[in-house]
Amino acid sequence: MFTDIITIIRKEWKEMFMMRGSLRGGLTNLLIQFGVFGVFIPWQFASDWFKSPLNPLIWSWMPVFMATWMVSDAIAGERERHTLETLLASRLSDRAIYLGKLSAAILYGFGLALVNLLLAAVTVNLVHPGDGLQFYPLGFFFLILAFDMLGCGLLAGLGVLVSLRAATARQAYQRMSIVLMAVWLLPVVVVPMLPESWKAPMMAVLMNANYNAILLWVCLGLLVIDGALVAAGQTRFKRARLVIE
């Protein structure tokens, strides 16, 4: 089954890189993402990039969101292009197809996050060579990677479930966008509206928080949620049911 999963991953990635009609378009999109999140934004923070754990933690999540369109397209896009029947008629098992699509989105989002974190470290060190070689604390770095991986699993698991119920890829993407807005935009909108008397204590807590411990507990929670989503996805992803729909 592992070989079948790899086959699906390769198929999904090929479609992703050809999303603008050519390999050049897909690679250009990747380079823009790396340029913005791996070079430009860390450059603006300079050496402060490593001083505040919130900087890499927040910005490493942005590329993860870029994988949303892939999971939105996972089933709804295939159904819309009338290629779902062909895929389901293949010798590949339901489980291999589901896990392949899920893994393709997770590895894509995680790969973007990893490359951007490493590019950010290189950028900051090149811009400020006089500060000596700088890097993330190793424990925190690996926790960020775990957080991003499990975060990709959360979005991918939700995305596939949404895509299973959507008529078109656009509809699936719109529904997923609502989830992303709740996760990302609401805190951005709500926090500035809080009274100033609340903001100072909140900032003090954030500055003195033990991010390693927080990330560890968050990762454990995400692991449980991801497991539940995968179980639900495998239960819902049935060949006969998809053909009827």
91-125 pLDDT, tens digit each:
888 888 899 989 998 998 899 889 999 999 898 88
Containing structural domain, residue 213: 2-176+190-244
Are residues 74 and 173 in contact, defined by beta-carbon separation less than 8 angstroms?
Answer: no
The rounded distance, in Å, linking the Cα atoms of 212 and 207 is 13
pLDDT value at position 239? Answer: 73
Sequence-distant (6+) residues with CB within 8 A of 101 are: 8, 12, 71, 74, 75, 160
54 CA to centre of own chain: 17
- Report if residue 194 sits inside a domain: yes
Confirm whether 182 is domain-assigned: no
With respect to residue 181, please indicate whether it lies within any of the assigned structural domains. no
pLDDT tens column, 118-163: 999 898 888 877 667 888 888 989 999 999 999 889 888 988 888 8
Residue 9 placed within a domain:
yes
Q: If you search the block for the tokens 């929670």, which residue do you land on? A: 221
In this structure, what token pair is assigned to residue 117? 């974190």
- Give me 229's structure tokens: 């989503």
Residues 6 or more apart from 216 whose CB is under 8 A from it? Answer: 143
Per-residue model confidence (pLDDT) at position 183 = 66
What stretches of 53-144 adopt beta strand conformation (E)? none
Integer CA distances (angstroms), 16 to 35, 40, 180, in order: 19, 24, 20
pLDDT of amino acid 199: 67
CA distance 3 to 71: 21
Cα(8)–Cα(147) distance, integer angstroms? 25
Q: Is residue 88 part of a domain?
A: yes
3-class secondary-structure state, position 176: helix
- DSSP helix/strand/coil, 132: coil
Reference 144, options 242, 222, 42; nearest CA is 222
218 lies in some domain: yes
How many structural domains does the chain have?
Answer: 1
**Greatest CA separation for the chain:** 65
How confident is the model over 168-226, as pLDDT tens digits? 777 887 777 777 776 666 666 666 677 777 767 777 776 677 888 888 999 999 999 99
Q: Hey, what are 133's tokens?
A: 């070689």
DSSP conformation class of 245: -
Q: Is residue 222 a contact partner of residue 78, using CB atoms and an 8 Å limit?
A: no
The reply to whether 183 falls in a domain is no
Say what the pLDDT of residue 34 is: 85
Is residue 185 situated within a structural domain?
A: no
